[in-house]
Amino acid sequence: MAGLSLRCGDCGALLKSVEEAQEHAELTKHSNFSESTEAVLNLVCATCGKPCRSRTETDLHTKRTGHADFDDRTLEAAKPIELEAAPKAAAASGESAGDESSQPEEMVVPEVDSDLLGQLESMGFPTARATRALHYSGNSSIEAAINWVAEHEDDPDIDQMPLIPKDKMTEANKPSLTPEEIKMKAEELRERARKKKEEEERKTEREREKERIRIGKELLEAKRIEEENERKRILALRKAEKEEEQRAREKIRQKLEEDKAERRRKLGLPPEDPVSSKPSAAPEEQKKSFLPVKPATKAERMRDCLRSLKQHHKDEDAKVKRAFQTLLTYVGNVAKNPNEEKFRKIRLNNPTFQDRVGGLHGGVEFLELCGFEKLEDGEFLFLPRDKVDMAVLNSAGSELNSAIANPFFGVL
């Protein structure tokens, strides 16, 4: 089978032509070449069309650009090696050179655009790298040269001056693209960059929209939870109001029963028989009427005291509310700092105390229900440390909060 490439015996590189072998020998000083039936790889990137000659080049290209799909066109581009036109390569491979007096082709540095070369050097590129980039990129533009450097920056010979046969220098220096083609290529690159930017902007906008939707859902959920909590609070407040009204009606009913019994006693009549007075009552109701009345708890006595205070000052809502707030402050201070004597001792003749609590009906009585005692001199209300009952103070705080929050407190 005819040889399809030349293999360097020193480094194993495959070269497509005698000219490449000569250039490789000049750059690396390798001189051991042999003909090979293995073709040089021609792997073309399916995305951008860049040809790669080895798996190493494809890996580097994928690393730089992210392009991972390559078309193997090795067999399409493979051609037999022409050895007759390369006496230097034939001699280096150990084969007969024919005429020993023949001279190798003279290798020279290719000519490149001096203006482009100066611009690259002003950017900091070494002269050899800039010359190599301009030569292999077609000597067409700064952008093409920079792209070539970016794709070949890991090449071992990136900073070596390129050499080509003298008779091919003119052909090599010709621009690979006409001015019109360069202009079209630049326009294509600008259009591609514009589309890429638009796609990135659309992607960013989609991400922002997703974030806005997520934040909106979180706000709606937080609002729903807040409304649910408010609804529960209103229901609890209404329930407390109904219970308060029920207790007020029951107290009025008991008061009427007591007044009725007192009038019968004053008139010398026997006590009313519950059975005869309510013949049509159901057995269950009759059973309930004979249940003993439980003594009032301290919390109920506190509630009655606050209700009495409000009823005695029913036309002074602001004054009543301020009294409730002051009592809540006294109770709260003792509950938070039971060891502080200054919170457990109140001067009765203090003008502020008299104006807010002491001068109102039931104010001092409420404090006494909380555990405060009048000292013998009658000048102070004092709560001994050993008589501080947190349960009583908590009940007092609950009753005061209920009285402050309930607009119907003490109405009945």
- The domains of the chain are located at 106-176, 180-275, 300-405
How do 51-52 and 43-45 pair as beta strands? antiparallel
Query: In the prediction, which pLDDT does 43 show?
Result: 84
Distance of CA 195 to the CA centre of its chain: 29
- Alpha helices in 317-389, H assignment, sequence order: 317-336, 351-353, 363-369
Query: Which architecture does CATH list for 106-176?
Result: Orthogonal Bundle (1.10)
For 192, how many CA atoms within 13 A lie in the half-sphere containing its CB?
8
Name the burial class of residue 348, with classes exposed (0-12), middle (13-18) and buried (19+) by CB atoms within 10 angstroms of its CB.
middle
* Residue ranges in the chain modelled with pLDDT below 70: 1-3, 77-78, 81-105, 166-178, 272-296, 410-412
Among 412, 407, 392, 387, CA closest to 300: 392
Query: In the prediction, which pLDDT does 181 show?
Result: 73
Cβ contacts of 170 within 8 Å, gap of 6 or more: none
55-65 helix and 142-152 helix, angle to the nearest 10 degrees: 120
Bridge partners, 6 (sequence order)? 15, 35
- List, for residues 278-296, the tens digit of each pLDDT value: 545 455 554 554 445 556 6
Query: In the prediction, which pLDDT does 402 show?
Result: 87
Cβ contacts of 71 within 8 Å, gap of 6 or more: 43, 44, 46
Among 325, 355, 343, 336, CA closest to 380: 343
Q: Reply yes or no on domain 300-405 having CATH 3.30.450.40.
A: no
How do 164-165 and 373-374 pair as beta strands? unpaired
Query: In the prediction, which pLDDT does 224 show?
Result: 92
- List, for residues 9-53, the tens digit of each pLDDT value: 777 777 777 788 888 788 777 777 777 777 778 788 888 888 887
| 373: three-class secondary structure by DSSP | strand
Query: In the prediction, which pLDDT does 188 show?
Result: 83
Q: How far, in Å, CA of 98 to CA of 131, rounded?
A: 36
56: amino acid identity, one letter = T
